[in-house]
Amino acid sequence: MIDHGDGRGRSDDAKLYLTTLLNSLTLASLYFIVASGFTLVFGLMRNVNLAHGSLYLLGAYLGWMVGDATGSWLLAVAAGFVSAAIAGLLMQVTIFRWMQGQDLRQTLVTIGLSIVLADLMLAVWGGKTYQFDPPGWLYGATKLPFVRAYPTYRLVLLATAIVIGIGLWLFLNRTRIGMMIRAGVDDRGMLSATGVNVQLVFATTFAIGAGLAGLAGVIGGTALSIAPGEDTRYLLAS
């Protein structure tokens, strides 16, 4: 960058740096939302779910269908969360419930499941690229200090990731259900002996983690796009 002697070169460099920094933070925010669900399932419950990226893509596709049919972005977000949560709940009840502690078996089964889901989604939605249109109040740009304008939606994405992070911390550390989840991971037998339905607690946790993946699918499909292969990309990022 050439400095014209009046500071314009350094000013342009600073704006470019800040814009690049915001781009990195907002993309990291999207990865964080996907990874937060993966953390609940893998990091906390010790369930190796390598189909987590498929839940992201499934939530994105089904959210897109609802959004396209209703014209409501908020309904699309809700549909993405609920559809992925239901899929995750079915996975917990039919697969992980019977493979607790069997890491290798969980890995192989969920890899196979992710391949099947990828092929099914390709058959239903094809190889096209889809994208959500954000609502009017999220469309456009916001003026920031040292940056002329930055997409409003990306700023909301960053704020959403922060809210989800704080919310999950409060949920796990400040609520009765969160304490039961942590207790069940440490000593399932003792928690069950106190009268708590451990399977219900774990199924709920798995559904929340899967729902976050579907939620991220709609949010990511608005910021970027939805296409085959995104499941693997976000799984690796998680």
For residue range 140-159, what is the model confidence (pLDDT) as tens digits?
Answer: 888 887 777 889 999 999 99
Contacting residues for 140 by C-beta, under 8 A, at least 6 apart: 151, 152
Say if residues 37 and 213 touch (Cβ distance below 8 Å): yes
The structure's pTM equals: 0.88
Here the tokens at position 11 are 């000013």
Q: Give φ, ψ of 228 to 5 degrees.
A: -55, 140
pLDDT of residue 39: 87
Instruction: Give tens-digit pLDDT for 176-231.
Output: 888 888 887 777 788 788 888 888 888 888 999 999 999 999 999 998 889 999 99
The full length of the chain comes to 238
pLDDT of residue 8: 61
Whole-number average pLDDT of the chain: 88
Say if residues 210 and 91 touch (Cβ distance below 8 Å): yes
